[in-house]
Chain A
Amino acid sequence: MNVTVARLTMRGLLGRRRGLLLLALPLLLIVLSVVIRVVAGQDENTAAGILGGLGLGTMVPLVGLIAGTGAIGPEIDDGSIIYLLAKPQPRWKIIVSKLVVAIGCSVVFAALPTYIAGLILFGTFENLTLGYTIAALIAGIAYSALFLLFGVISRHAVVWGLMYALLWETIVGTYVPGAQTLSVHQWALSVGQKIADPGVISSSVHLPTAIPLLLVATVGGAWLAAARLSRLTLAGEE
């Protein structure tokens, strides 16, 4: 962990339009929750629908995508990463620092808003809010690592990330049940299922499968990103 890298990453992430986008998503969730609570009252199905569908299903991957790819992609794109790399520092430290910042963003802009929205919608009943919050936290960590890796590997990281989060996890997962085994969303849900009261949250993946896969995705993603970064080449502009 390198404080300077983390500080530069954070300022890069929050300083530009990306910061506004990161703020807009959770605000939307919270405002919507207030409106629903006022109009429809306290209802378990509605709360689960909002927290699971809009929160965990949409906001968490989008925040992870913006934070994960944004933590490194733009610097590789415009070449300014050279100032981090031309230093006597092991490259994995750069990845770890950036990952910590991306995870921090996921906590602040995804997990925390999920908790607040949950409290507004359903209070603390049946541990529904806690279950979805922990799921959002865990999904945020895994997405951050995965999308950071995408940011190191590809110039089109955002496109790949969207394809994964929207196409694979949502659409493919709906029609091909097997695809859900390789879904951060389902892994996180299976942790949430364990925390909430029985029957409140359900996942298509069992916890003993989900935990190792979460670890592989997070640690493996970070490790691959570090390996790739230490072989990063600058092709000439000629």
Chain B
Amino acid sequence: MTTISIDRASRWFGNVVAVNDVSMTIAPGVTGLLGPNGAGKSTLIHMMSGFLPPSSGSVVLDGVPIWKNQQAYRQIGLVPEREAMYDFLTGWEFVLANAELHGLSDPGEAAKRALATVEMEYAQDRQVSTYSKGMKQRVKMASALVHDPAVLLLDEPFNGMDPRQRMHLMELLRRFGAEGRTVLFSSHILEEVEQLARHIEVVVAGRHAASGDFRKIRRLMTDRPHRYTVRSSDDRALAAALIADGSTAGIELDYKERALQIQAIDFYRFTELVPRVAKEAGIRLLTVSPADESLESVFSYLVAAK
């Protein structure tokens, strides 16, 4: 059982705060680190992988600080986000070199096993520079798995993968989680994280915004006030009928857009209410669209609600 504990860690670069007073524990199983781009996910992963010291607070692996502790790499496998690796090597040479650098007793066998795990044997004798993005990602995975680590850290591993590769990697990570390894991956896509992670940690603008299983996170995301833009054959009559129900908090007649701007506070009831009310009043709905579904606004709501 290997656990990474982050305790009140902050990290700033000059006067830019990238990570702000974050505490979380990454336990065995698959954990998703969710947040919009620039939220501090990479900074957190760099701290967990010993490539950045926290400016304050601590980041430890089973109680031992990770920064400047090269022995920690016996337990950590890291899949960095950047694509650069030793492009002039073949996939086999690259993974073998990683096994040798770990000082394994049988690096050849370990490299073989790791390449088999990611199903890359078929291309192992080609130069890395000829690989597609998904293939590079898998070879990076193999290099991180070569020493059979208890902890696997992956920075945006699904970026640039096609759906089939994505499914394959998800299966792989699920399996590692089930084997009792501590797997942490970052992503800015909720659906991706939901499909895979048992546990989700949400970071927004350097802060720890939420933590829990995917149901809890999903509920947090849907329970927030939603804004809708609605156009109909009779906006004023529709507004009057909708505001009578408790699921709406405010309605504005937007003359310029010739539409209603509605703030709903009970998502499920509201989605059921609109078509029913319109039908009863004989109003025709022309447009019903969520107004601020950008991920950033969803996340910033989470921060404000915490």
By a beta-carbon cutoff of 8 Å, the part of chain A in contact with chain B is 2-5, 7-8, 11-12, 15-16, 78-80, 82-91, 230-238
Beta-carbon nearest neighbor of A77 in chain B: B84
Contact across chains for A79 and B88 when beta carbons are under 8 A apart: no
**Stretch in contact with the other chain, from B98-106, B162-170, B251-259, B279-287:** B98-106
Q: Is B42 an interface residue (CB 8 A)?
A: yes
Indicate if B76 sits at the interface (CB-CB under 8 A). Answer: yes
The residue in chain B whose Cβ has the minimal distance to the Cβ of A2 is: B101
Residue of A whose beta carbon sits closest to that of B11: A236
Q: Which residues of B contact A79 (CB under 8 A)?
A: 80, 82, 84
Q: Give the docked Cα–Cα distance between A32 and B24 (Å).
A: 67
Q: Which of B67-75, B190-198, B269-277 forms part of the interface with chain A? A: B67-75
| B43 at interface by CB-CB < 8 Å | yes
Please tell me which one of the listed residues B39, B43, B49, B89 contacts residue A11 in the complex, with CB atoms under 8 A apart: B89
In whole Å, how far is A215's beta carbon from the nearest beta carbon of chain B? 28
Known contacts A88-B73, A88-B74; decide if A232 and B51 are in contact (CB<8 Å).
Answer: yes
- Which one of A12, A88, A91, A237 contacts B81 once the chains associate, using CB atoms below 8 Å? A237
Whether the pair B80, A8 counts as a contact (CB closer than 8 A) is no
| Total CB contacts across the A-B interface at under 8 A | 89
Known A-B contacts A233-B46, A238-B37; A86 and B84 likewise in contact (beta carbons under 8 Å): no
Number of interface residues, chain B, beta carbon within 8 A: 38
Kindly list chain A residues whose C-beta atoms are within 8 Å of the C-beta of B40: 236, 238
Indicate the member of B81, B89, B100, B101 with the most A CB atoms within 10 Å: B101
* Other-chain residue from A80, A87, A232, A234 in contact with B101 (beta carbon distance below 8 A): A87
**Does any Cβ of A come within 8 Å of B85's Cβ?**
yes
In the bound complex, CA of A42 to CA of B184 (Å): 71
| Contact status A235-B13, CB under 8 Å | yes
- Pairwise interchain contact B80-A236, C-beta atoms closer than 8 A: no
- The answer to whether B13 touches A4, judged by C-beta atoms less than 8 angstroms apart, is no
B42 to A238, Cβ gap below 8 A? yes
Chain A CB within 8 A of B38 CB: yes
**Top 7 closest A-B pairs, CB basis?**
A78-B84, A236-B42, A79-B82, A4-B100, A234-B51, A238-B38, A87-B101
